[in-house]
Amino acid sequence: MPDTVLHHKLSGEGEPLILLHGLFGMGDNLASIARPLSEYFTVYQLDLRNHGRSFWADSMRFEDMAADVLAFMGKKGLGQVHLLGHSLGGKVAMQVALMAPGRVASLVVADIAPVYYDGNHNEVFAGINAIDLHRLASRQDAEHILQQHIEEDGVRLFLLKSLYKNEAGQFDWRLNTAAIERCYDDIRQALTSDKPFNGPTLFIKGELSAYIQSNHREAIESLFPQAQLKVIQNAGHWLHAEKPVAFNNVVKQFLLNKTRHPHAGGGPEL
C-alpha cells in the first residue's frame, strides 16, 4: 500500500508552523520563508498530493487535500498549528481552517482568495505535455520546448525545478501532471462553509497581482471575519520570492503577535 502521508521537510523549534506551496510547486519552494521563521517555530514544509515527493491521487478536491494536512498533523501528533499557504496552498490552508477551526491557531494566506478563478494554465499544460520524457536528453532541451509555449522565464524555471532524473537515469516529473490537468477545474473552485473561521487570519497581496481584488472582500470576510490584509509593494503573485524580506517581516510580525516567544526580540518592522 503506498504511503499516503504528505512528504515534508522539518526545521527549527517552537510552536508548529505548516507551509503549503502553490500549484506545480513543492515544499522546497518555500525555503525562503522557512529559514527565517525556523528561529521561532518548528516549520514543516509540506509537498501537497501530486506534487514533489508526496503520493499521487486521482482527486484534488480541496476537502481531500485539507484532509491530507489534517492526517499529517495527526501522524505527527500536532494538536494545533499555524498555517501559511501560497496560491493553491493558500486555498488548502483556508479549507483546513474551515474544516477544523480548533486545529488552526492562526492562518496566513498569500495572494489568493476563497473564490472561483476563471484563469487557466493552458500554456503550462501544453508545455509540459510537449516534452517527451523518454526522449529528453537534457534540461536545456526541456527549457527550449517549454519556451515554445510559455513566455515567462520565471514560470519555465519554476517548472524545471520539478524535473529530475529517476533511478533509471531517465528524466521524470515530481508532478502528477495528468492528475493535475484532469482535476484542474476542482482547484479553481470557490470555498464554501456553513461556519466561518473566527481565528486570526492574515491575507497578503502582491500589489501587482490580480489574484486578490476589492470585489473579493465580501467572500473573504464572510468566511474569515477576523481577516486582515497587507499589501507587499512592487510584488506580483510570487510575492514571497520577489520581496522575501518584506514578506517575511509581515508574516513574522503577525505570527509573533499570536504567540509568545521570549527570545524573539524587537525585529524590524515595515
Active site members: 87, 237
In DSSP terms, which residues pair with 204 in a beta bridge?
110, 230
* The three three-digit cell numbers of residue 12, written as one number: 527549527
Name the 3-class secondary structure at 121: coil
* The three three-digit cell numbers of residue 89, written as one number: 496552498
- Contact criterion met (CB below 8 Å) for 127 and 148: yes
DSSP 161: T
- Contact criterion met (CB below 8 Å) for 190 and 114: yes
Q: Which of 42, 21, 41 is nearest to 31 (CA)?
A: 21
- Contact criterion met (CB below 8 Å) for 68 and 49: yes
Cα–Cα distances in Å, from 138 out to 51, 149, 174, 175, 270?
22, 18, 16, 18, 43
DSSP 90: H
Any idea which residue has 503573485 for its cell? 237
* The three three-digit cell numbers of residue 84, written as one number: 501559511
The set of residues, in sequence order, having a beta carbon less than 8 Å from that of 238 and lying 6+ positions away, is: 154, 206
